[in-house]
């Protein structure tokens, strides 16, 4: 059961406790499959070991975030003696929770320790529940709610969650020479315009005097620059060229952006288009009526030119390769864009039978009933 929770008709609240729990369970399963897809891409050479580690870490952060939200809304729809709302999801576009949920969670995390100090321990709450059940013959709904909120704040304190903004981190991947180091920079955002998690990977060569993560001047500036540019509407070319111009001793060689979603589900979302029709026709059992879109934008440097910087020095500038097909690179700002879809076996079979227009070039990662991921092009 869903009810409107915002003036935006695309956002609905999961007010039925069983529907809410099934939603979280579905996403837990989907995120697990997503990390297996990254493993398949590593095996075929599309991703490096370091890149898979990064993507797996963000996948785990998403999983922990959904676990925290599931605890927060565990008693949704029950009379807890306190109104606490319901999980708001973007049912018509992304299928994910709306960005406001993550902003609220970040605020809760700042106050989590104070809340826990004023709460009974989990053991004390469980003891009170047993006494109320046995002694008073009553369902301890209010105590269950108190316990769920305690577990929610404990989960927030553990950290490692996917926030609305996840600041850049650097992974050293080797030295090309004594004066030239190579780093993999990665960061992520929860795009508030489309309510989707977006992950960025940038391969950078560093010719500064001090290694980038140890440089107290350049590293904070680079982090702030990248976060300010992390907007879904900006082309990769715009982001990479801006970084290249603003940091003379940092040379971006490759930039990728992974859009995780939308998630389609016959039970929870109301997107239009072929995938909704496929899921409706597949009539899959609970837990298998979903499809997750995964889009990768990729921009690579194809050569280096030198520009004069002052009277006596020159700086490197990257020239990026754009998609050569029909001039699309100018429009997309990328060398290539690959669209993939992850879905269970039964919806995949229906998708192949219907063969809707536009899906021939979409890569399919198919999850078998045993959880194995197979790749089809």
pLDDT digits (tens, 9 = 90+) for 255-277: 999 999 999 998 888 888 899 89
Pairing of β 180-191 and β 165-177: antiparallel
Residue (of 298, 293, 297) closest to 260 by Cα position:
293
Whether 154 and 169 map to the same domain: the answer is no
Instruction: Provide the pLDDT confidence category of residue 5 given band limits of 50, 70 and 90.
Output: very low
Determine phi and psi for 26, rounding to 5 degrees: -60, -45
**Contact in structure between 226 and 185 (CB atoms under 8 Å):** yes
User: Which pLDDT score, from 0 to 100, does residue 229 have?
Assistant: 94
Whether 148 and 272 map to the same domain: the answer is no
Summarize pLDDT for 40-67 with one digit per residue, the tens.
Answer: 999 999 999 999 999 999 999 999 999 9
Whether 72 and 190 map to the same domain: the answer is no
Instruction: Provide the pLDDT confidence category of residue 79 given band limits of 50, 70 and 90.
Output: low
**Contact in structure between 64 and 160 (CB atoms under 8 Å):** yes
In this prediction, residues 149-165 reach a mean pLDDT of 96
Whether 201 and 309 map to the same domain: the answer is yes
d(CA 210, CA 217): 10
Instruction: Provide the pLDDT confidence category of residue 84 given band limits of 50, 70 and 90.
Output: low
pLDDT of residue 82 exceeding 90, the answer is: no
Whether 123 and 141 map to the same domain: the answer is yes
List, as one string, the DSSP characters of 176-210. EETTEEEEEEEEEEEETTTTEEEEEEEEEEE-SSS
Is residue 248 left, alpha or beta, with left meaning phi > 0 and alpha meaning psi from -120 to 50?
alpha
Residues facing residue 260 across a β-bridge:
294
Summarize pLDDT for 204-217 with one digit per residue, the tens.
Answer: 999 999 999 999 99
Name all contacts of 102-107 with Cβ < 8 Å and 24+ positions apart.
Answer: 102/65, 102/162, 102/163, 102/164, 102/190, 103/164, 105/65, 105/68, 105/69, 105/72, 105/156, 105/161, 105/163, 106/163, 106/164
Tell me which of 158, 187, 214 is where a domain ends. 158
Whether 120 and 212 map to the same domain: the answer is no
Summarize pLDDT for 162-197 with one digit per residue, the tens.
Answer: 999 999 999 999 999 989 999 999 999 999 989 999
- Helix axis angle, 49-72 to 17-43, nearest 10°: 180
Whether 96 and 231 map to the same domain: the answer is no
d(CA 131, CA 341): 50
Q: Which domain holds residue 151?
A: 2-158
Summarize pLDDT for 102-139 with one digit per residue, the tens.
Answer: 999 999 999 999 999 999 999 999 999 999 999 888 88
Residue (of 300, 304, 374, 301) closest to 341 by Cα position:
374
Whether 23 and 170 map to the same domain: the answer is no
User: Which pLDDT score, from 0 to 100, does residue 309 have?
Assistant: 74
Whether 138 and 245 map to the same domain: the answer is no
CA-derived radius of gyration, the chain: 24
Report the number of distinct structural domains present in the chain: 2
In this prediction, residues 69-85 reach a mean pLDDT of 76
Question: Which pair of structure tokens corresponds to residue 344?
Answer: 């269970």
User: Which pLDDT score, from 0 to 100, does residue 6 have?
Assistant: 45
Question: Which pair of structure tokens corresponds to residue 266?
Answer: 């016959």
Least confident residue range of 228-232, 298-302, 335-339, 351-355: 228-232
Tell me which of 137, 158, 179 is where a domain ends. 158
In terms of DSSP H, where are the helices of the chain?
A: 17-43, 49-72, 99-110, 112-117, 122-136, 141-158, 218-228, 236-246, 274-282, 328-332, 345-354
Whether 281 and 141 map to the same domain: the answer is no
Question: Which pair of structure tokens corresponds to residue 123?
Answer: 């053991």
d(CA 200, CA 240): 11
d(CA 27, CA 14): 14
Does residue 38 have a cis peptide bond before it, meaning omega lies within 30 degrees of 0? no
Instruction: Provide the pLDDT confidence category of residue 81 given band limits of 50, 70 and 90.
Output: low
Whether 114 and 251 map to the same domain: the answer is no
User: Which pLDDT score, from 0 to 100, does residue 226 have?
Assistant: 97
Whether 82 and 193 map to the same domain: the answer is no
Residues facing residue 258 across a β-bridge:
199, 296
Determine phi and psi for 249, rounding to 5 degrees: -105, 15
Q: Residues with Cβ < 8 Å from 192, sequence gap 6 or more?
A: 99, 164
Tell me which of 103, 132, 158 is where a domain ends. 158
Instruction: Provide the pLDDT confidence category of residue 17 given band limits of 50, 70 and 90.
Output: confident
């Amino acid at each position: 059961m869903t009810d409107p929770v915002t003036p935006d008709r695309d956002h609905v609240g999961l007010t039925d406790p069983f529907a809410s729990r099934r939603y979280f369970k579905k996403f837990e399963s989907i995120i697990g499959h997503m990390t297996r897809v990254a493993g398949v891409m590593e095996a075929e050479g599309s991703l490096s070991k370091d890149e898979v580690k990064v993507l797996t870490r963000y996948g785990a952060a998403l999983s922990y975030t959904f676990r925290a939200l599931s605890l927060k809304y565990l008693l949704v729809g029950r009379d807890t003696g306190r109104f606490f709302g319901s999980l708001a999801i973007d049912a018509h576009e992304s299928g994910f929770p709306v960005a406001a949920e993550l902003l609220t969670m970040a605020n809760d995390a700042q106050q989590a320790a104070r809340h826990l100090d004023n709460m009974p321990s989990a053991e004390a709450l469980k003891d009170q529940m047993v006494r109320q059940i046995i002694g008073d013959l009553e369902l301890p709904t209010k105590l269950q709610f108190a316990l769920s909120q305690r577990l929610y704040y404990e989960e927030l304190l553990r950290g490692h969650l996917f926030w609305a903004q996840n600041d850049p981190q650097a992974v050293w991947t080797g030295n090309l020479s004594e004066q030239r180091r190579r780093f993999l920079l990665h960061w992520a955002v929860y795009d508030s315009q489309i309510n989707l998690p977006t992950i960025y990977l940038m391969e950078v060569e560093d010719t500064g005097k001090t290694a980038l993560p140890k440089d107290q001047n350049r590293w904070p500036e680079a982090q702030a620059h990248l976060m300010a540019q992390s907007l879904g509407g900006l082309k990769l070319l715009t982001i990479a060229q801006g970084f290249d111009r603003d940091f003379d001793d940092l040379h971006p060689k490759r930039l990728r952006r992974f859009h995780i979603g939308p998630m389609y589900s016959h039970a929870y979302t109301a997107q239009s288009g072929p995938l909704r029709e496929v899921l409706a026709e597949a009539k899959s059992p609970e837990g298998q009526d979903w499809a997750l879109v995964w889009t990768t934008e990729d921009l690579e440097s194809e050569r280096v030119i030198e520009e004069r910087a002052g009277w006596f020095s020159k700086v490197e500038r990257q020239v990026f390769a754009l998609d050569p097909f029909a001039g699309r690179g100018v429009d997309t700002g990328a060398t290539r864009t690959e669209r993939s879809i992850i879905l269970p076996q039964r919806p995949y079979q229906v998708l192949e039978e219907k063969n809707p227009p536009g899906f021939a070039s979409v890569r399919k990662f198919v999850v078998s009933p045993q959880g194995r991921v197979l790749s089809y092009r």
